[in-house]
Copies of this chain bind each other. A is one copy, B any other.
Amino acid sequence: MDKLAKCPANYVPLTPLTFIKRASMVYAKRTSVIYAGVRFTWYQTYERCRRLASSLRSLNIVKNNVVSVLAPNVPALYEMHFAVPMAGAVLNAINTRLDAKNIATILRHSEAKVFFVDFQYVPLASEALRLLVADLKETSHEKIQHEMPLVIVIDDIDKPTGIRLGKLEYEQLIRHGNPKYNGEEVEDEWDSIALNYTSGTTSAPKGVVYSHRGAFLSTMSLIQGWEMSTEPVYLWSLPMFHCNGWTFTWGVAARGGTNVCIRNTTAREMYNGISTHNVTHMCCAPIVFNILLEAKPHERREITTKVNILTGGAPPPAALLKKMEDLGFDVMHAYGLTEATGPALVCEWQTKWNQLSQDRKAKLKSRQGVGILTLSDVDVKRKETMESVPSDGKTVGEIVLRGSSIMKGYLKDETETAKAFHKGWFFTGDVGVIHPDGYLEIKDRSKDVIISGGENISSVELESVLFNHPNILEVAVVAMPHPRWGESPCAFVVLKNPTTEEEIMVFCRKNMPKFMVPKKVEFVKELPKTGTGKVQKVELRKMAASFLITMDSKTQKSSSSSVTDRSWYHQQEEKVIAMSRI
């Protein structure tokens, strides 16, 4: 029994690259990618990937090199999900909402060899590159053999603008590439395929590394968990830079689907895409529901197909779920994190729930659910004792995961990697319960993450920036309900010298990405603390929940005012996205 050896016929490394090769053969003539007036078939997409991969090799890209990209959901970014690993390299899709400083940090930390930049982000990328040069000059005495990445601009493929940054343009690489190049062989499924920086969960962004094995398995189980059947028409409302589009970059190829690429997640572009191409599937944070629901009549288009939405990032409020379903969307809730290659749990629907009331259904749907099939284990444990909590829907513990879809670790960060992997488990930092039916529900995030418009904001990171302000003595940041973003950061500040909210806002805008800037700064005499001197964020969250954020529909800017009536929030459920967090 033991003598039967692995051989090339029966042991082939698991990799999502299988999907594109297969798609090019069995879905050759089917539409792979649609973007504005551009359409490709799977045969063409694979050929473009082959060309790009061979061009990358010609540019001296070798195994384990990092190829960074700053782009919206355009065909180029989709193609790079296959072409970069085909060249043996590791794809680093950068969050386009980051500021130049963060981008520079990522380019430096990842030692990116190539940096693809969509024409739209040329100013941001230029600034990041400027900071990187300055940074490198400063530390040139170190022995780090760091080189600046080769910059390649991605012009608009539908309507070229001529905007350039450096000499090379994406389509040149495609044109000059070898259409017969087969790609480097994946020698070991543990080899790295992607590098995604977490934003905000701690003060320093961490580079999460995925293996080919992990990416393959996550893709397989998410197709299955969401029950994405053959020939899906997938709208790219979720940024591909979010855990590689929750693996659906690879998944749509696996299912022979059509990728509908859009540049911006506006109501007009989304409705247009859905209606024109009969979209069947899309992923997004619950914030996008608001965009769809609040669209102006002229932005809307009739939706005739059933659109399946996989949502995550924050628990979708029941009221919002109901509205979406009324509009004809079928929403499934998933829970995950970058370290778990996107969704790790899905709220698998049970037939018997169909008989329940709309409210009860929405409540069940907003739970985080059950582990996907390639996760070996999901549990809720008391960290101190490693004991599992009982499945009573009450006893809280930390959510822990185990399985081959968990990241390889954090790039060049042994300390954080060791911290994340504890006694055989990955610790999510999220606190939850297990219901008697085995479904899991998050009760709180232990790391104080604020999820604003689908983006994670670390309150710790924000606090550390604010603390640099000369007039601030103490600061604590918590989540505050926000009608547009779901949550937004609210800063409680104890001053040492007089200053104004506006002044602090200006300071923030200078020192952090726009989406991280607190929507409200509240000055207090002192912060509520526990006996041991820890800030009682629970108390601050209660206060923040009472701040009235109103949306000025004309300026799209929000303003806030404190109200005393705690019940305000519940009265506003129609307008405000409720967060299930306490």
Contacts and interface: CB of A to CB of B under 8 A. Distances in A.
Interface stretch (A198-206, A269-277, A398-406): A398-406
Given A64-B2, A192-B1, A209-B1, A424 B9 contact: yes
A567 interface: no
Nearest to A12: B376
Contacts of A227: 227, 229-230
Contact of A376 (B18, B223, B424): B18
A7 interface: yes
B403 A27 contact: no
A168 interface: no
A25 B351 contact: no
A10 B407 contact: yes
Of A9, A417, A439, most B-chain CB atoms within 10 Å: A9
A300 interface: no
Contacts of A90: 1
Interface in A389-435: 391, 401-404, 406-409, 411, 414, 417, 420-422, 424-426
Contacts of A349: 230
A214 interface: yes
B8 A230 contact: no
Contact of A209 (B4, B11, B391): B4
A431 B406 CA distance: 41
A258 to B, nearest CB: 12
A12 B209 contact: no
Which bucket holds chain A's interface residue count?
35 or more
A421 B7 contact: yes
A472 interface: no
A441 interface: no
Given A9-B406, A220-B224, A371 B1 contact: no
A401 B22 CA distance: 13
Interface in A445-460: none
A438 B229 CA distance: 19
Contacts of A252: none
Contact of A438 (B18, B25, B224, B438): B25
A370 B26 contact: yes
A402 B221 contact: no
Contact of A1 (B26, B64, B407): B64
B376 A426 contact: no
A437 interface: yes
A112 B159 CA distance: 69
Contacts of A414: 3
Given A10-B426, A376-B18, A1 B411 contact: yes
A58 to B, nearest CB: 22
Contact of A404 (B10, B26, B214): B10
B438 A19 contact: no
A220 B405 CA distance: 14
B371 A403 contact: no
Contact of A22 (B29, B373, B421): B373
Contact of A402 (B9, B231, B376): B9
Contacts of A190: 6, 11
Nearest to A376: B12
Would you list the 10 A-B pairs with minimal beta carbon distance, nearest first? Answer: A12-B376, A8-B424, A4-B408, A26-B438, A4-B409, A26-B370, A10-B406, A1-B64, A9-B421, A9-B426
20 contacts: A4-B417, A9-B406, A9-B426, A10-B408, A11-B190, A11-B404, A12-B404, A18-B373, A22-B370, A22-B371, A25-B438, A26-B348, A220-B220, A220-B373, A223-B224, A227-B227, A227-B229, A227-B230, A231-B350, A256-B348
Interface of A: 1-12, 14, 18-19, 21-22, 25-29, 64, 66, 90, 190, 192, 209, 214, 217, 220-221, 223-224, 227, 229-231, 254, 256, 348-351, 370-371, 373-374, 376-377, 391, 401-404, 406-409, 411, 414, 417, 420-422, 424-426, 437-439
Given A4-B411, A11-B404, A25-B391, 4 more contacts: A10-B408, A12-B403, A14-B217, A220-B220
